[in-house]
Amino acid sequence: MIGKSEPIWRCELMAVPAAKAEPEPRMTARVKVRPKAQLTLPEEIRRALHIGEGDEVEFAVQEDGTVTIRGYVSIPTDQAWFFTPEWLAGEREADEDIAARRGTVHESAEDMFAHLDTLGPPDG
């Protein structure tokens, strides 16, 4: 029994949001920087980035010091048209049509061209 002169302590639990959990990396590696600031990426990292000798990589440094490295592909200028937003939108639409089985299947290239001839000239 608590006497009147003894303080009564009360404990309340307060919910505190958990710190944002960082996702676990798929793999990690540690390497040493050699003279001229060179380093060798371990084979498993090169495979994960789909890069090999002579390929380019891009480094991005975040405010918190996190560094992201990704394989980088330079596009020859004569192929840049393929990567325009309009062309890529058409590619996505074609992929969706194929997945939904929309379209016509032809037995041969000759049959396909004959079918296209019946459609007339393209709009544009």
pTM: 0.45
The mean predicted confidence, pLDDT, of the chain is: 83
35-72 — its CATH code? 2.10.260.10
CB 27 within 8 A of CB 44: yes
Is the pLDDT reported for residue 10 higher than 70? no
**Domain residue limits, the chain:** 35-72, 77-119
The predicted-structure confidence for 67-111, as pLDDT tens digits, reads as follows 888 888 788 888 888 889 999 999 999 999 999 999 889 999 999
CB neighbour list of residue 56: distance below 8 Å, 6 or more residues apart: 71, 72, 73, 74
CB 115 within 8 A of CB 106: yes
- Alpha carbon 43 to its chain centroid, in Å, reads 20
CB neighbour list of residue 50: distance below 8 Å, 6 or more residues apart: 71
Is the pLDDT reported for residue 16 higher than 60? no
